[in-house]
Structure 1
Amino acid sequence: MPPDRTEPEQTTLDVHTAIYLGREKKMATKLAALIVLAAFLGGPPACEGDIICFNGWLRLPIQDPRLCPPGSRSRINGRTRALVPVPRPSGLGLGLGYYNNRSSRTSYCPRAEGIVRDAVSKAVAAQPGIGAGLIRLFFHDCFVRGCDASVLLTTTNSNNRDTEREGNPNKNSLRGLEVIDAAKAKIEAACPGRVSCADIVAFAARDASSILSNRRINIRMSGGRYDGRESFANETDQLPGPFSGATVLLDNFKAKGLTSEEMVTLSGAHTIGRARCAFFSSRFSEMDPAFAAKLKAQCNDDDTKVDQEHVTPEVLDKHYYQDVIDGKALFTSDAVLNSAETIKQVTENANKAGAWERKFERAMENLGKIGIKTKADKGAEIRKVCWKVNN
């Protein structure tokens, strides 16, 4: 789902995961092994088919399925991270209008949601791309450690400075952080110590979705999340990336208790935002020829950014799904939705008026229930400043 991506930086991994390819074709095997070793040194691999990648964030020109056997998963610091399905997120402890309860001395803050809405409205009016960034920020927060605002931290309880913001999918690409900080500052002035940064991120994504869809999307976003106190860059390998294949995408979402339909639905957020040419230029031959030629003309270099959807690039709508059908999707992770497992959902979203908008509302609500922390949880708090833990 993440728009406006940046190219991952290199990180060092455990090289003891070198792959034995057999004795046949010795020279080709040795060359392939060297490429694999370089891939391991360059970033954590989560493999599918003929792709070696940082869970979908890096593609190398390797065409040998023996390098990535079925069931391969990323190795971080020498340990394998398996993507295991979990129960549906329950959202236990959350509630609509959470800050409007007069009887609660610890959470009553009736202006909270209005302050967030005002901050988002002003930011998106000045720069629509910020809205796409706020939706992406919510996704990247909830997919790692649950919806606990860990994505915002630069200083943690363990004094770790290599936080999620430094992870390959996030570094130099997160947008809307200043909107969250501005809303938090105003809320703290009105109701100190009552409203979590995690809820502000969730409310901001809700409001951005409403504004960018011209009010066609109205998410019933509950409140009551508490903020976490830890954040680690290496845990961002859980985020699906532009080179993720269908199996990896489905596994990623199942590991969060979300369905294949919700994966397809949330991918529709790629109808807004901008993308770097580096993440789709290898796919030109797989796209609609006329569309590919247009993109080639725009892509002066890998760092050039283009609109992720070319018809209504600043409107959160269902045009993305028609692009998937027509061979005009940018990323591998978009194009694979044309597969047998997901094409029925894609077609319905493209053709049935209002279908995708209602699905998106429900999927965002469920996304906001992943791994939430409440007052009773160890390591949970209401931060005074969103980018650092309380003293």
Structure 2
Amino acid sequence: MVKKKEMKKKEETASLRPAVLKKTSIFMVVLLIAVLFSLRNPKIEAEGKSNHIPSFLQRQKVSSPLEAEGLSYDFYQDSCPGAEDMIRSKMKKFFSNQKGVPANLLRLFFHDCFIRGCDASVLLNTTDANNNRSVEKQAPPNLTLKGFDVVESIKEDLEEACPGVVSCADVLALATRDGILLTGGPFYPVFTGRKDSHESHFQEALSDIPSPNHNISQILSLFQRRGFDERDTVSLLGAHNVGRISCDFIRNRFGNFSGTGHPDSTMASDFMDELRLQCQDGHGITQVGAPTLAPAPTPTMATLIKGNSKPMMMFSEQLSVAISSGSAFDGHYYRNLLRSRGLLFADQQLMANNITASLVRTYASDDGRTFRKDFARAMLKMSNHGVLTGDNGEVRFKCALPRSHS
């Protein structure tokens, strides 16, 4: 009887083997296909664990959407395999010598991408690349931004290694991301393959770049035109966590703000006193509430162009006095807004809308983790906005000049 049971058990086991082997074979085939596929298309989520990214860049990551149209991950893998490593290395050196470089590039990147997309138009030292006038005699729309020397230095090294391959638009996008990481910000994947525009978009920049004195409706309208919702907008403005802002953009808040005859009522009085002292530079701002204070002109681009041969973009850093807005990608920018201590009127206006105010409170409620996550997603979205690819643009030899002038 026992022998019969053992024989029956052996027969049942034998009958199961083909099924088990079949399932195992299917599993191994699927696994092999997955491995081969990953070698051809490495997943962005695994990037932080890869030796491709130095340890100093292995920070917070976000999942990536499908590749942007015309862009791809590691676009220069074959044509210039060391390009991204070279950019990281250069950024690390720049940062070790000057901690303000990431903030400079971040604002440069924003001004480049916000008009028509990330096409390196802001880097051009010309207002009209298609005319016959000498480029050197033109007044560029970017004289008051910083970081051009950093991009040009990186580009020069890339030109030696891979002439005419890596676009200035990609250099700016990658260098900005790596700079954000170096200053404590989040990691986000950057797709590459952008081409550079043939011309700058100076006239559009005059009307479409957000002004320091815009109200919340104007701010949201400008961002929504480019596909950014309230959450994107509030997180992107969190870039003001780092860097310096010229006193020329806040001095008008101390006196006849927007023609009211009074200081800006959205600013905390003790904060206004602090800023008056910090921005004191011999232009009459010597005491709080001085009735004879002559207000500085509203720093819109139009008025600056009319009265100044050097037109200014949003965040000038080459004027007389500048105030630090911070040096860390945490929630201090948002906590300041809750206390009516936003440096710019446009910053403080985030508290004037129920949706944006709610987001401010959310970002202010932790150590910056929620903000960094949303900021990374918004930067990924902005870096893919309106890019030129294929035959729609060019690869400049020098970022300050169109290819035809090089």
Q: State the secondary structure of the residue aligned to 1:99.
A: coil
Match of 1:240 in 2: 210
Instruction: Please tell me whether residue 314 in structure 1 is matched to residue 327 in structure 2.
Output: yes
Match of 1:190 in 2: 161
Q: Are the equivalent residues in 2 in contact too, given 1:308–1:330 (CA < 8 A)?
A: no
Displacement after TM superposition at 1:304 (Å): 4.4
Q: What amino acid is the match of 1:345?
A: L
The alpha-carbon distance between structure 1 residues 384 and 162, as it changes in their structure 2 partners (threshold 3 A), is closer
2:381 to 341, 355, 366: 366
**Cα deviations across residues 309-352 of structure 1 (Å, max 9, x unaligned)?**
3xxx2223221000111111011110000122311111111113
CA distance in 1, matches of 2:138, 2:364: 34
CA distance in 1, matches of 2:182, 2:137: 30
1:154 to 112, 125, 128: 125
Match of 1:31 in 2: none
**Cα deviations across residues 217-267 of structure 1 (Å, max 9, x unaligned)?**
112111110111011421212110211111111111111111121111110
Match of 1:260 in 2: 230
Q: State the secondary structure of the residue aligned to 2:180.
A: helix
The alpha-carbon distance between structure 1 residues 231 and 306, as it changes in their structure 2 partners (threshold 3 A), is closer
RMSD: 2.3
Higher Cα Rg, which structure:
2
Q: Are the equivalent residues in 1 in contact too, given 2:246–2:323 (CA < 8 A)?
A: no
Q: What amino acid is the match of 2:342?
A: A
Q: Are the equivalent residues in 1 in contact too, given 2:70–2:390 (CA < 8 A)?
A: no
Match of 1:223 in 2: 192
Q: What amino acid is the match of 1:364?
A: M
Displacement after TM superposition at 1:144 (Å): 2.0
Listed as ranges, the gaps of 5+ residues in structure 1 are 1-88, 103-107
Displacement after TM superposition at 1:206 (Å): 0.2
CA distance in 2, matches of 1:195, 1:322: 40
The alpha-carbon distance between structure 1 residues 186 and 262, as it changes in their structure 2 partners (threshold 3 A), is same
Q: State the secondary structure of the residue aligned to 1:273.
A: strand
Q: What amino acid is the match of 2:210?
A: P
CA distance in 1, matches of 2:137, 2:110: 16
Higher-helix-fraction structure: 2
Match of 2:273 in 1: 293
Match of 2:306 in 1: none
Displacement after TM superposition at 1:164 (Å): 11
Q: What amino acid is the match of 1:95?
A: S
Displacement after TM superposition at 1:305 (Å): 2.9
Listed as ranges, the gaps of 5+ residues in structure 2 are 1-65, 255-262, 284-318
The alpha-carbon distance between structure 1 residues 351 and 112, as it changes in their structure 2 partners (threshold 3 A), is same
The alpha-carbon distance between structure 1 residues 374 and 158, as it changes in their structure 2 partners (threshold 3 A), is farther
Q: State the secondary structure of the residue aligned to 2:245.
A: strand
Taking structure 2 as the reference length, the TM-score comes to 0.67
Displacement after TM superposition at 1:162 (Å): 10
The alpha-carbon distance between structure 1 residues 362 and 164, as it changes in their structure 2 partners (threshold 3 A), is farther
CA distance in 1, matches of 2:138, 2:236: 21
Please show how residues 1-391 of structure 1 align to structure 2 within 5 Å: 91-100=68-77, 102=78, 108-155=79-126, 156-159=129-132, 161=135, 166-167=140-141, 170=142, 172-213=143-184, 216-236=185-205, 237-284=207-254, 285=263, 286=265, 287-301=267-281, 303-309=319-325, 313-339=326-352, 340-353=354-367, 354-377=369-392, 380-391=393-404
Q: State the secondary structure of the residue aligned to 2:203.
A: helix
Q: Are the equivalent residues in 2 in contact too, given 1:157–1:389 (CA < 8 A)?
A: no
Q: Are the equivalent residues in 2 in contact too, given 1:154–1:163 (CA < 8 A)?
A: no
**Cα deviations across residues 60-80 of structure 1 (Å, max 9, x unaligned)?**
xxxxxxxxxxxxxxxxxxxxx
Displacement after TM superposition at 1:163 (Å): 11
